[in-house]
Amino acid sequence: DFVLESTLDPATEADREAQSLLDAAERKQKSIQAVRESLPVYDYRDALLAAIEDHPVLIIEGETGSGKTTQIPQYLYEAGYSKDGRKIGCTQPRRVAAMSVAARVAEEMRVHLGREVGYSIRFEDKTSEKTVVKYMTDGMLLREFLTEPDLDGYSCIMIDEAHERTLSTDILFALIKDITRYRPDLRVLIASATMDAQKFSSYFDDAPIFKIPGRPFPVDIYYTLAPEANYLQAAVTTVLQIHASQPTGDILVFLTGQGEIEQAQELLRQARVALGRRIKDLLVCPIYANLPSDLQAQIFNPTPENARKVVLATNIAETSITIDGIVYVIDPGFQKLKTFDPHTEMESLVVTPCSRNAANQRAGRAGRVGPGKCFRLYTLWAYENELEDHTIPEIQRSNLCMVALQLMSLGINNLVEFDYIDPPSVTTVQKAIGQLYMLGALNAKGEVTKTGRRMAELPLDPKMAKALLASAKYHCSDEIATLCALLDVQSALYYRPKAEKLNAEKAHQNLVQPGGDHFTLLHIWEQWVQLEYSESWCRENYLQRRSLLRATDIREQIVRLLERIEVPLESNPNPADTSGVAKAMLAGYFSNVAQRQRGEDSYKLAKRKETVLVHPSSSLREAKPPWVMYYELVMTSEKFVRVVMEINPEWLIEVAPHEFKPSDIVDKSKQKMPKFLKKARELI
Ligand code: ADP
Ligand code: MG
């Protein structure tokens, strides 16, 4: 006893504990080092650095998971590209990827995230003075051009996941191509999965292509014999079949969004309860854009011995994020895609079949650790005959208003002849310019006005930016900033579990305020702040606390931006009169108004032909006021307007006298060609 006690000296014990922690850390670091060296890109480290040295623009093509995103910026750092205080920047099309990759690289480099390695996404900047390796969304780099048009703070820019061809990536291509002409020191890397490299090379004046061969294992592909009526149910069934009959290996399922992923999670939970303890445990991990980061990290945890992991992912797992250990892929063959109709100016998210290219990428995910299997929930015939080769680039299916304002603020005036890798339609460009003109961001000569410059400072849709500027006049910037944040999260704010549907509806009904959905949102915000972000209040009212927390962050950022655009932070001086708030919003959204049709439930969009309905989620669905302003137009079974406010049509003449004349607000039969469009045509 005596001897034992003496060895249990507290100092020694603490030392031992510290030593064992150090040992664990060292083991972890050693294994991180081993993983780094095992990645395909590692063998090409020196050749790659030499090629980068020799060529201002280099196209890098490599299998997903070969280490492009996590390793190449580190190689550049190790080779001294940040010695002169300049940064190494790497863009990602997706927020989640930027965050998760930055976290991984910080760990590999043994630094705190946000110090030497950081990330920047809209409304969240996790970088510091010290940051030398910076991951960011492509949209954020595009914004940086406004303050630093030559990207002088960077020694090297890697445009990653170039094959995704997001709107921002496409615009970055052109802007960066231009910079390389007068900054020969800048190194530009265009990195993509194994697609489109030739196209990128031609666009960048025949820049060389550096190939990193992957080491994929064969993947067997299985098709269904007949089309599936319900792919979600089919996917869940396939998970259970694999789990019951196939050897060890994790499963990756591609779904189209958060809603589907949550449904699948629930179905799998029920099935697991039904199966009881008869089979090994199924560990279900979701991954999608709005998933909180602590849960995102979970998908990378190694699967315990007695379990099988099922990752339910959006197409984020196609190329942006690699999860080790996947042996089985289930591909229903769908994705959610943004579309834009320049004639109706309607942007919508539609579930569409994925491209053949995407299907092949998805299948490839099964062959990283060993031979894999991919179960396509569609027929071979559909694969061969129904899928498109490529997804249409986003620039050809988006509203270009925000991008047009950014480019014009950079002094690029001819948006039709801009050096696009694939050009958007002329109609879309005209519509964007027309909208900017209507909002007062451009003058009659097509030049960016002072208002336009201030709008461009804000990382917001130009309509919202205009509303924020207008709030100064009505002394309610506080309310408009709040709306701006809440409108960003509104689609994930209310929560209605099936089993408690009635309670949830009642709770939501109790939150409703007169005047429309915007005022309900403001009321929710007031309560949220008054009750100090209460968790139980959120639960009682069936509101997603996560969305409110995010709105809180966004609002904070917007309040900070108000200073930049010189709008004082003021709250509506007379809360009983909400017309100021309404007018400020209307100053941005005056083109989103609709008039009720005589004797009908439906509305006609002002100055357009379309007929729409008020969405069932709106509190004005029953009241049906004569005039409404809406936040968005969505197309499901019908055309619906969502997040709706009642307006007095006279306000239109006050906030947008150039667009609305007294005759517009009484006589609905007249249908003139909108004047702005004629003007927009003349501008080009
Ligand atoms: P690529 O960009 O070529 O597709 P990556 O650099 O993204 O390849 O991935 C290289 C490796 O890093 C993969 O094995 C991946 O699993 C691993 N990895 C990436 N992010 C994380 C993370 N957050 N945690 C653990 N491993 C990660
Ligand atoms: Mg990558």
How far is the centre of ligand 2, averaged over its atoms, from the C-alpha of 71 (Å)? 9
Q: Are 361 and 407 in contact (CB under 8 A)?
A: no
Whether 435 is in the pocket of ligand 1, judged by its Cβ within 6 Å, is no
Q: Is the CB–ligand 1 distance for residue 64 below 6 Å?
A: yes
Cα 243 to averaged position of ligand 2 atoms, centre (Å): 29
- Of the ranges 198-202, 322-326, 518-522, which one carries the lowest mean pLDDT score? 322-326
- The percentage of residues in the chain with a pLDDT greater than 90, rounded to a whole number, is 74
Lookup result for tokens 């208003």: 401
Which of the listed residues 92, 107, 250, 322 should we mutate to test ligand 1's pocket, taking the one with most ligand atoms within 8 A of CB? 322
Nearest Cα residue to 469 out of 490, 485, 453: 453
Is ligand 1 within 6 A of the CB of residue 398?
A: no
| pLDDT at residue 345 greater than cutoff 80 | no
For residue 120, the model assigns a pLDDT of: 97
Give residue-wise pLDDT tens across range 462-493.
Answer: 999 999 999 999 999 999 999 999 999 998 89
Looking from the CA of 653 toward its CB, the CA atoms found within 13 Å total 9
Pairing of strands 133-137, 87-92: parallel
Residue type, 220: D
Ligand 1 contact via 70 beta carbon (within 6 Å): yes
**What is the arithmetic mean of pLDDT over 408-435?**
94
- Residue 8 pLDDT exceeds 70: no
Neighbours of ion ligand 2 (CB under 5 A): 68-69
Ligand nearest to the CA of 75: 1
166-175, 293-302, 558-567: segment of lowest average pLDDT: 293-302
For the cut 80, the answer to whether the pLDDT of residue 396 exceeds it is: yes
pLDDT digits (tens, 9 = 90+) for 167-193: 999 999 999 999 999 999 999 999 998
Terminal Cα distance for the chain, rounded: 93
Q: What is the mean pLDDT of residues 655-682?
A: 70
Q: Are 422 and 170 in contact (CB under 8 A)?
A: yes
**How far is residue 193's CA from residue 97's CA, in Å, rounded to a whole number?**
15
Mean pLDDT over each residue of the chain, to the nearest integer: 91
**Distance (Å, rounded) from C-alpha 66 to C-alpha 9?**
49
Please choose from 33, 70, 194 the residue to mutate so as to test ligand 1's pocket, defined by most ligand atoms within 8 A of CB.
Answer: 70
Assign 678 a pLDDT band (cuts: 50, 70, 90).
Answer: low
User: Using a 6 Å cutoff on CB, does residue 37 contact ligand 1?
Assistant: no
pTM of the model: 0.88
pLDDT tens profile 230-271: 999 999 999 999 998 999 999 999 999 988 999 999 999 988
Q: Using an 8 Å Cβ cutoff, are 92 and 135 in contact?
A: yes
| Residue 499 pLDDT class (50, 70, 90 cuts) | confident
The pLDDT, as a whole number, for residue 334 is 96
- Split at pLDDT 50, 70, 90, the class of 5 is very low
pLDDT-wise least confident of 96-105, 340-349, 507-516: 340-349
Q: Give the rounded percent of residues in the chain with a pLDDT score beyond 70.
A: 95
| Residue 675 pLDDT grade (very low, low, confident, very high; cuts 50, 70, 90) | low
